[in-house]
Amino acid sequence: METLPLKDKVIIVTGGTGVLGEAFTKGIAQAGGIVGILGRNEKIANERAQNIIAGGGKAIALIANVLDENDLISACEKVLTKYGRIDGLVNGAGGNMPGGIIQPGDDIFKLNFEGLRQVLDLNLWGTIIPTQVFGEVMAKNGNGSIVNISSMSSKHVITKVLGYSIAKAAVDSYNQWFAVEAANRYGDAIRMNAIAPGFFLTEQNRALLTNPDGSYTERGKLVLQNTPYKRFGKPQELVGALIYLLSDASKFVTGTIINVDGGFSVFSGV
């Protein structure tokens, strides 16, 4: 009999209320995991947990802001009270924000520091703070896998999105740093890896890539032109890499980044 790869593993997904988060939480439940759907929107988190439970899976809604350590500690206690353990964390909360975008006519010497700081806070500190709270529990348990969500913009220049790019580059750096320092202290008991998605149409980028009538913007067309598959990704196409990184199949893998991008990251554009 085939054993599900995440059978009975308790896995928290921040940003579990988002578009990619929906695919992550469903995929984890289908792989046998018990999912903590963490987000700020109580209604969506509860609905998603109920859907998973109705389908025969196990899930719990956790209402928390990833930048609020006390919220996260309460969420962590809720999970430990119910399930007694945590085996995985997906740092999925994040995204682009208008204040972190530099428009073509903007003066690059008059940056909006506050806007840039907000997007850096969400993507970088919104990855580090949950890792502090849930990662410590996993390290003490002696088994845990953390998956960060990087981006194409962390290694290649994508115009306009300065805040997002520097934040995701910092996430990549943290991904490597944590992997090494955690291995130094806990051996293979706690691992950290990342997935770098290519372009998926979600709420945080819809206005950049599509017009209100659904047609592609010039930027959307450029993305497709530079993606060898000539299409956007489907959220469920991230699930295979996610399950691999959360499961014991990747036990000897830490500090790495898997691109799931239809070839975008390897294409020179020529």
Query: Which residues are marked as active site?
Result: 164
Distance CA 28, CA 177 (A): 26
Min. distance of Cβ 208 from ligand NAD in angstroms?
A: 10
Residues paired with 146 in a beta bridge: 89, 192
In 3D space, the residue among 25, 43, 33 whose CA is nearest the CA of residue 7 turns out to be: 33
Contact residues for ligand NAD, defined by CB under 6 A: 14-15, 17-21, 39-40, 65-67, 92-95, 122, 126, 149, 151, 197, 199-200, 202-205
Contacts of 133 (CB under 8 A, 6+ apart): 69, 72, 73, 75, 76
Q: Which is nearer to ligand NAD, 121 or 136 (CB)?
A: 121
Min. distance of Cβ 112 from ligand NAD in angstroms?
A: 19
141: tokens are 């348990």
80: tokens are 């430990």
Q: What are φ and ψ of residue 78, in 5° steps?
A: -60, -45
Q: Which is nearer to ligand NAD, 143 or 227 (CB)?
A: 227
Q: Which is nearer to ligand NAD, 33 or 197 (CB)?
A: 197
Q: Which is nearer to ligand NAD, 131 or 205 (CB)?
A: 205
- Do residues 244 and 236 lie in contact, with contact meaning Cβ atoms separated by under 8 Å? no
The residue nearest ligand NAD at its CB is 18
Cβ neighbours of 143 (radius 10 Å): 18
Q: Is 244 exposed, middle or buried (0-12, 13-18, 19+ CB in 10 A)?
A: middle
168: tokens are 């995701």
In 3D space, the residue among 117, 109, 113, 219 whose CA is nearest the CA of residue 160 turns out to be: 219
Min. distance of Cβ 188 from ligand NAD in angstroms?
A: 26
Min. distance of Cβ 184 from ligand NAD in angstroms?
A: 27
Min. distance of Cβ 215 from ligand NAD in angstroms?
A: 18
Distance CA 247, CA 113 (A): 40
Q: Which is nearer to ligand NAD, 7 or 234 (CB)?
A: 234
